[in-house]
């Protein structure tokens, strides 16, 4: 396995573009690293133990550098708004999707008029894709203190508004939180 890791590392260092990665690569790498760490800790012969620890240290360097190189390439693709079409490891695909969403929220925050609601960035981190988490989206009622000129893109994929002052709407909690923070709306309690 170390040869596979080292070959992948060399390939990433030589190429400017991201190279395909087996989706289970990091899982196999973690298992291999754990096995070698346990073996080095359990070794009784001090000379062999030192050799195993040196190999482990070299392996850790290669793995850390491989992660840094691939992470940089993924982030560069996000910044350039390029779609990654090659196969990525599961962990990388998840990271790529999250970074794309965060970057879009960031750009929307910069380029949107100040009266548009923004998704709370903290709510995106750790959240699965919108399609997978749709049933988990919590909605809250808010009353608008100011009118909005533009529609609001909800975290659930729906467009809301525009709204007039005193309008009441049920929005995804993260979107509502952005409006409340910007003093465009206030939370209201719904009674049955």
The domain segmentation of the chain, as residue ranges, is 2-97, 127-187
DSSP states of 15-82: -SSPPP--TTHHHHHHHHHHHHHHHHHH--SHHHHHHHHHHHHHHHHHHHHHHHHHHHHHHHHHHTTP
Query: Domain 2-97 carries which CATH code?
Result: 1.20.58.1030
| Residues pairing with 186 in the sheet | 143
pLDDT mean over 164-168: 90
**Greater pLDDT, 134 or 10:** 10
pLDDT at 104 over 90: no
Distance separating alpha carbons of residues 3 and 53, to the nearest angstrom: 17
What does the buried/exposed string (b/e) look like for 60-84 if buried means 16 or more CB atoms within 10 Å of the residue's CB?
eebbeebbebbeebbeebbeeeeeb
The reported pTM is 0.59
Residue (of 117, 119, 122) closest to 179 by Cα position: 117
Of 41-45, 59-63, 67-71, 134-138, minimum mean pLDDT range: 134-138
Cis peptide preceding 162, ω within 30 of 0: yes
pLDDT in tens, 121-148: 565 555 544 444 445 788 888 999 998 8
Looking at the domain covering 127-187, what would its CATH class be? alpha beta
127-187 has the same fold as 2-97: no
5: how many CB neighbours lie within 10 A of its CB? 18
The mean pLDDT value of the chain amounts to: 84
pLDDT at 78 over 70: yes
């Amino acid at each position: 396995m170390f040869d596979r890791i080292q070959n992948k590392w060399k390939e990433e260092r030589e190429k400017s573009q991201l190279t395909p990665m087996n989706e289970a690569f990091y899982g196999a790498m973690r298992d291999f690293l754990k096995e070698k760490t346990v073996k080095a800790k359990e070794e009784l012969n001090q000379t062999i133990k030192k050799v195993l620890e040196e190999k482990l240290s070299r392996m850790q360097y290669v793995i850390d550098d491989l992660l840094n190189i691939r992470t940089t390439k993924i982030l560069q693709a996000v910044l350039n708004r390029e779609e990654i079409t090659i196969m990525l490891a599961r962990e990388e695909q998840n990271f790529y999707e999250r970074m794309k969403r965060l970057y879009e929220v960031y750009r929307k925050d910069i380029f949107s008029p100040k009266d548009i609601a923004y998704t709370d960035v903290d709510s995106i981190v750790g959240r699965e894709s919108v399609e997978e988490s749709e049933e988990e989206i919590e909605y809250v009622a808010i009353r608008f203190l100011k009118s909005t000129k533009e529609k609001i893109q909800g975290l659930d994929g729906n467009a809301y508004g525009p709204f007039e002052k005193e309008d009441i709407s049920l929005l995804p909690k993260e979107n509502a939180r952005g409006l409340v923070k910007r003093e465009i709306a206030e939370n209201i309690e719904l009674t049955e």
